Amino acid sequence: MRIKIASVGEPDLRGEARPLTPEEIRSQRIRDLIEHMRETLSDAPGVGLAAPQIGEPLQIAIIEDKAEYHANLSGADLAERERRPVPFHVLINPRIHFVSPPEVAFFEGCLSLPGFTGIVPRAGRVLVEALDHLGQSVRIEATGWYARILQHEIDHLRGTLYIDRMWSRSFSSVENYNRHWKSTTTAELRQAFENRS
């Protein structure tokens, strides 16, 4: 069952999500919610979805960056973004630790702001401690694009959107991004937009 994704301006996206109890994590309701989120993410399609995006103020996020999503990117683009496939997984009650400063800047989009993108500086390396769908502790050390996805989704659980962190002058429609910026290197993007927000 595909669930409607909240769009920017809806209050659900700006609240602080609450942690789940061990009993909730093991409940059928949460198992069903995770499955509905997975179907919604696949249909969208996207690489991550947080429970507040579907009107549930709970600290649940799912992530999956399928290899097929990389098909329209060159090998050079994939290397520069440090983007590799990431299998489906669930994060519950995550805590994020930044291992490097937010100095990796690149365009980001969001299913709650369809059709737009902006440059967001993010940490290139993070450590996330969370529970999985079974309530077991997980520890994730991530770099590159995977680290960016984790930061984006965990931000959603705190009521933060990428537009709160982006270089405001870089905000663009996806159409114009594809026309003007898609093949631009990170260094060129910095020259065009950094310190001009």
Active site residues: 153
- The residue written with tokens 């061990």 in the block is 22
* Cα 138 from Cα 131, distance rounded (Å): 6
Query: Which of these, 172, 48, 175, lies nearest to 111 by C-alpha position?
Result: 48
Please list the alpha-helical segments (H only) found in the chain: 22-25, 28-43, 75-81, 144-157, 174-176, 186-193
Going from the C-alpha of 4 to that of each of 41, 81, 179, the distances in angstroms are: 11, 30, 29
193 dihedral zone (left: phi>0; alpha: psi -120 to 50; beta):
alpha
Amino acid sitting at position 132? D
